[in-house]
Structure 1
Amino acid sequence: MDWLKGMNSVTQYIENNLTHPIQYESLSRIVGCSVYEFSRIFSFMAGMSVSEYIRRRRLSQAVFDIQTGNDKIIDIALKYCYESPTAFARAFKELHGTTPLSARKMGVPLKTYPPITFVLTIKGVNEMNFRIEKKESFKIMGLSGYENGECKTGDSLTTLWREFMDNYNFRLWNGGGTDNYHTAPFWQVAAYDFQSDGGRTKVIIGAEYKGKKPDGMTVQTVPAATWAVFTISSPTGIDYVPAAYTRIVTEWLPSSQYERDESVPSLEVFHGGDADSPEYQWEIWMPVKNK
């Protein structure tokens, strides 16, 4: 996939569908990656989330409808996929600083956000450390939930991680004591499915399964696959993970002999250490197949 062409195809698709519901699955399919990966890469490259970009474009176009036409505000709200004129007016004022009715007056200052165009930049200066591994099918146990693609503090993914760290991490890290849930080497792993559910990506956060699990955890089988394993030296917060995925998908994949294997979830693997340290090392396991 030519990522420059693919991302510009995404923004063109959004432009063509501003008056229709836009599904994250449709956007990620254009560039050939999972919803989870796409949402992070778009946010990193565009400087805003996908939903925020769509919101700004719809409200920018709504200005022209308000100022140049005679349509009712409720009709314009419905046209741009708002459920009610109240929700539309609230979003409009948040962006433009005035109400839709006031925007019909001459001389009212308003904002516009033009469509994004992704352009070529010089990359590849910094090295990327990776290895190729073939691994038989294995199982992971963990807390299961959904990630909504926005990667915001306080969202369902953050809540899931907090529950895991508060209630399960210590028990698994220490081998479960007499329960013997896990044997070394310890894998703290998050698996993100390629297939999503209504724009949400299924995620399971836990560790490699060795035959016994704590109550409240589920077990998921990861199929046999070839993996491109990238060692990342950075903290693991939301300011760093999207940058790592962006480099892998936009720099490494296009120049390699591989493409992403969409039938297998991607993994994030964490070992012991200070995850807030710039020297902390963690891994992204990207399932790949020959082009």
Structure 2
Amino acid sequence: MIGTLNALVDLVEALGTDEEIDVAAFAGDHGTTEYHLRRMFSALAGMPLSEYVRRRRMTHAGAELAAGAPNLLDVAVRHGYGSVEAFGRAFRAVHGIGPADARRDGGPLRTQPTLRFRLSVEGSIPMDVTIAHSPALVLVGHAAEVPLIHEGVNPHIQAHIAAIPPEEHARLKELGDAEPSGILAVTADIEPDAPEGALLTYLHGVAVQATTPVPDDLDALPLEGGSWAVFAARGPFPTTLQNLWAATATEWFPSNPWRLRPGPSIVRYLEFTGDFASCELWLPVEQG
């Protein structure tokens, strides 16, 4: 996977700045899927592939303007934009100044260096991983649309959970009759390389068998049968869980014959005290 990601970066550099990358075709040529490739790129680069491409284009555009390119429309079209206005918005989002300012003053400009991925072989985070094979099931509970936050506690999720009455937690626990058992934190409906702030569906609930009747007042997320990589972790919350997410991309997936498949991620809490958690992270996988 590390070699594939570096080849993708090379392709970004090789293509003209106005050319679109056929990520699905590239992934197929390298024996993987677009979904897994985008997820791994985002996890390891700290930004979606689309954002990296935009930053690289704006880096080249900034250099042209600082060198005195006379026609803003020509620069915009050369970098894949149909109007000066759209180009200006993208340019300002990256550099913090407008194209005309860059051409007049020469900067300041923010450069996005070419990425290079390297595999860490330190094994710095011990990983307790089990591959579980699950039949079709349904995740049921209370769902809310919340923004994606990569680091720290998500206050929108906290507020959603706090609004659920204690007796409702008890009802959900009684309803659950499938693995993973117990109250679950489910993240769904998010693009594989979504940027921070993108909206996702958070469901606080339980897993039930596909044949179990679901009460009308609960949200339901049906899942097909498939394999799951189950990562166990213990430590300060939410740091340990967020570090575990990163370690799956940097250490586990590059050295195991599995890849992510579309589906929600599930966190099962075995112990939770507010600032400490013992939990399992369930990720949907398929053999690569």
Counterpart for residue 231 of structure 2: 230
Counterpart for residue 285 of structure 1: 282
* Displacement of 1:181: 4.1
Counterpart for residue 127 of structure 2: 128
Q: Residues 134, 109 of structure 1: CA spacing in aligned structure 2 closer, same or farther, 3 A cutoff?
A: closer
Q: Residues 284, 166 of structure 1: CA spacing in aligned structure 2 closer, same or farther, 3 A cutoff?
A: same
RMSD: 4.4
Counterpart for residue 182 of structure 2: 186
**Alpha-carbon distance in structure 2 between the residues aligned to 1:133 and 1:44:** 23
Q: Taking every aligned residue pair, what percent have the same amino acid on both sides?
A: 23
* Displacement of 1:244: 2.2
* Displacement of 1:128: 0.8
Moved more, 246-255 or 18-27: 18-27
Counterpart for residue 252 of structure 2: 252
Counterpart for residue 102 of structure 1: 101
3, 6, 18: which one aligns with 1:5: 3
Amino acid across the alignment from 1:190: V
* Displacement of 1:69: 7.0
**Alpha-carbon distance in structure 2 between the residues aligned to 1:145 and 1:102:** 42
Amino acid across the alignment from 1:223: E
Q: Residues 44, 241 of structure 1: CA spacing in aligned structure 2 closer, same or farther, 3 A cutoff?
A: farther
Q: Residues 233, 21 of structure 1: CA spacing in aligned structure 2 closer, same or farther, 3 A cutoff?
A: farther
CA contact (8 A) 2:138 2:221 kept: yes
Gaps of at least 5 residues in structure 2 are none
**Alpha-carbon distance in structure 1 between the residues aligned to 2:167 and 2:21:** 42
The number of equivalent residue pairs is: 276
Counterpart for residue 215 of structure 2: 213
Gaps of at least 5 residues in structure 1 are none
Counterpart for residue 274 of structure 1: 272
Counterpart for residue 76 of structure 2: 77
Amino acid across the alignment from 1:233: R
| 1:118 equivalenced with 2:117 (yes/no) | yes
Alignment of 1:18-57 (within 5 A): 18-20=17-19, 32=32, 35=35, 38-39=38-39, 41-57=40-56
* Displacement of 1:124: 1.1
Moved more, 132-141 or 24-33: 24-33
Output one character per residue of 1:8-46: Cα deviation in whole Å (capped at 9) or x when no partner: 12323433364245688778876846758944x545533
**Alpha-carbon distance in structure 1 between the residues aligned to 2:76 and 2:221:** 44
Counterpart for residue 169 of structure 2: 173
CA contact (8 A) 1:188 1:270 kept: yes
TM normalised by structure 2 equals 0.70
Q: Residues 186, 28 of structure 1: CA spacing in aligned structure 2 closer, same or farther, 3 A cutoff?
A: farther
Q: Residues 230, 152 of structure 1: CA spacing in aligned structure 2 closer, same or farther, 3 A cutoff?
A: closer
Moved more, 50-59 or 184-193: 184-193
Output one character per residue of 1:113-153: Cα deviation in whole Å (capped at 9) or x when no partner: 221111343321432112233332222124568888x6468
